[in-house]
Amino acid sequence: MKEKDRNDPPSGGGGRADSQEEIAEGAKTQKCSTTDPESGWFRKGEHKHVFAYAVETACDKHGWILGYSVHPGNEHDSRTFKPLYDKIKNYRPAMIVADAGYRTPAIAHELLEDGIEPLFPYKSPMTKDGFFRKYEYVYDEGYDCCLCPENQILSYRTTNRDGYREYQSSPEVCAKCPSIHKCTESKNHVKVIMRHVWEEYMEMAEDIRHTLGNKEIYELRKETIERIFGTAKEQHGFRYTQYIGKARMEMKAGLTFACMNLKKLARILENRASKTPEFFGFLRFLVEESLYVEKWCWKQSQHQLCLQSEGGSTFCCRPLITHRQGQTGLSTVDAAHSLAVDCLGWIANNIYSFSYETNLASGILSCSCLSESAAFSFP
């Protein structure tokens, strides 16, 4: 008899159909893009399945981007944490606020061992409805065992290759338990509880999460890192990849984050520039008030005190000083220079984060803050 035609799709050549037949039944397979093999199959939600890259980013509490790393979209956050952490640990942070994807015993262990407090969000139990939660099985450190809600012992059995210690109940006891329908669906009536070897670090992380004030700190994520992600997607084309290859994606991410930091810096400079006239006006008031000291017997002269910003605006106030003949005290130039240094130095330490230096030979005090500068000029 003639064999019936098969409904298999035609092969595309190159032995592709033969390679599909060689795959053993039940073997795990992984999707790979023929256009960009370095990308990964990314699943977000029920309908969004695409090849993509994952960009992990770290920033400080002010929104400055400190580091980033690019990985295939099919890698979990907990497995890609190490490259990003190696870049930001040199900043010596006191606390790292992380997403739920980083809430693992290995990450908590590494952060706590380095003296950094990890702040993870709350993660709801993944137990089926109607069953006992994992926290209802109490661990006894003294006897190294677990107690179920019915006060029965789950003894230690073994440690698997993933680093989890397994605690198993007695099938004879569980078969007679009235709450077995809330405990397990195992056919041999055995309940197994797994506890990681670094589980105590997760308990320490939970204590940090419950510390007073840390809830408000975690809520700042929506104003910092989440805002960075939103800006990158809406204004810088980070919603979809435009380049092929991991190296090009790292280049795009690095340049984009550098531009975002520069935009933030430009806004800060713009705000400071708008406050510059107010600063010089306040400085002028302080200098005028400080130069009229009765015990030093100052009087007006033809000299000028010149305050000049980098933008070119100049403010001149009269007087600068001439010491009266026959009075004891400081010389004219030294007194004016010393008083100006004290005046502007106080403002620098209390109002702006300026760095200033003095030049006694020329009688000039320079004060710089990013692109702004001020100078006292003396004759």
Give the pair of three-digit tokens for residue 198. 């670094």
Q: What average pLDDT score do residues 109-129 get? A: 91
Q: Give the total number of structural domains in the chain.
A: 3
Is residue 116 located within the same domain as residue 222? yes
Q: Of 51 and 318, which is predicted with more confidence? A: 51
Whether residue 222 lies inside any domain: the answer is: yes
pLDDT at residue 174 greater than cutoff 50: yes
If pLDDT is split at 50, 70 and 90, which confidence band does 4 have?
very low
Q: Which of the pair, 350 or 364, is modelled with greater confidence?
A: 350
pLDDT at 288: 63
Q: Is the pLDDT of residue 10 over 60?
A: no
Are 216 and 229 members of one domain?
Answer: yes
Say what the pLDDT of residue 270 is.
Answer: 83
Residue-level pLDDT at 45: 73
Asked whether residue 153 falls in the same domain as residue 175, the answer is yes
Strand 305-308 relative to strand 117-119, pairing: unpaired
- Mean pLDDT of all residues in 4-32: 58
* Cβ neighbour number for residue 264 with a 10 Å cutoff: 16
Domain range enclosing 314: 275-376
208 Cβ neighbours under 8 A, 6+ residues apart? 117, 118, 119, 214
- Which residue did the predictor score with more confidence, 91 or 48? 91
Kindly state whether residues 144 and 247 are assigned to the same domain: no
Mark whether 51 and 138 lie in a shared domain: no
Q: Distance between CA 379 and CA 167 in Å, rounded? A: 85
Q: Please check whether residues 178 and 293 belong to one and the same domain.
A: no
Orientation of helix 225-235 relative to helix 246-291, angle to 10°: 120
Task: For residue 196, name the pLDDT band (cuts at 50, 70, 90).
Answer: very high
- Residue 216's pLDDT is what? 92
- pLDDT bin (cut points 50, 70, 90) of residue 19 is very low
Residue 258 is predicted with a pLDDT of 93
Rounded CA separation 191/183 (Å): 7
Q: Is residue 186 part of a domain?
A: yes
159 and 292 in one domain?
no
CB 341 within 8 A of CB 353: no
Task: Name the more confident of 13 and 159.
Answer: 159
Which tokens sit at 142? 């003294």
Domain-embedded: residue 128:
no
How high does pLDDT run on average in the chain?
74
d(CA 128, CA 113): 34
Same-domain check for residues 206 and 110: yes
The alpha-helical segments, DSSP class H, found in the chain are 16-22, 81-88, 105-113, 171-175, 199-209, 214-218, 225-235, 246-291, 332-350
Q: Does residue 80 have a pLDDT over 70?
A: yes
CA distance 332 to 129: 86
**Residue of 246, 276, 256 lying closest to 347 (CA atoms):** 276
Rounded Cα distance between 149 and 87, Å, is 45
Query: Phi, psi (5° rounding) for residue 157?
Result: -115, -60
**Residue 352: pLDDT above 80?**
no
Confidence category of residue 279, pLDDT binned at 50, 70, 90? low
Q: How far apart are CA 125 and CA 109, in angstroms?
A: 21
Report the range of poorest mean pLDDT among 101-110, 122-131, 147-156, 352-361: 352-361
Q: How confident is the model at residue 30 (pLDDT cuts 50, 70, 90)?
A: confident
CATH number at residue 67: 3.30.420
| Sheet with strand 355-359: strands edge to edge | 355-359, 364-369, 372-376
Last residue of a domain, one of 237, 262, 287: 262
Provide the pLDDT confidence category of residue 349 given band limits of 50, 70 and 90. very low
Report if residue 3 sits inside a domain.
no
Query: How buried is residue 146: exposed, middle or buried, by Cβ count under 10 Å (0-12/13-18/19+)?
Result: buried
SS3 346: helix
209 and 110 in a single domain? The answer is yes
Does 378 score more than 50 pLDDT? Answer: no
| Tokens matching residue 328 | 């004891």
Q: What local confidence, expressed as pLDDT, does residue 283 receive?
A: 66
Contact 131, 182 (CB under 8 A): yes
Based on the domain organization, do 81 and 70 belong to the same domain? Answer: yes
What confidence category does residue 333 fall into, taking pLDDT thresholds of 50, 70 and 90? very low
Mean pLDDT on 10-22: 48
Higher pLDDT, 28 or 53: 53
- Mark which of 150, 183, 199 sits at the end of a domain: 199
Confidence of residue 290 (pLDDT cuts 50, 70, 90): low
- Identify the top-confidence range among 46-60, 211-225, 277-291, 347-361: 211-225
Q: Decide if pLDDT at 69 tops 60.
A: yes
- Domain boundary among the residues 178, 199, 220 is at 199
CB–CB of 131/121 below 8 Å?
Answer: no
Higher pLDDT, 14 or 211: 211
pLDDT at 18 over 50: no
**pLDDT number for residue 132:** 92
Q: How far, CA to CA in Å, does 256 sit from each of 55, 65, 188, 215, 251?
A: 12, 11, 57, 31, 8
Q: Is the pLDDT confidence value at 331 over 60?
A: no
| DSSP code for 153 | E
Residues 337 and 234 in one domain: no
Would you state the pLDDT for residue 287?
Answer: 61
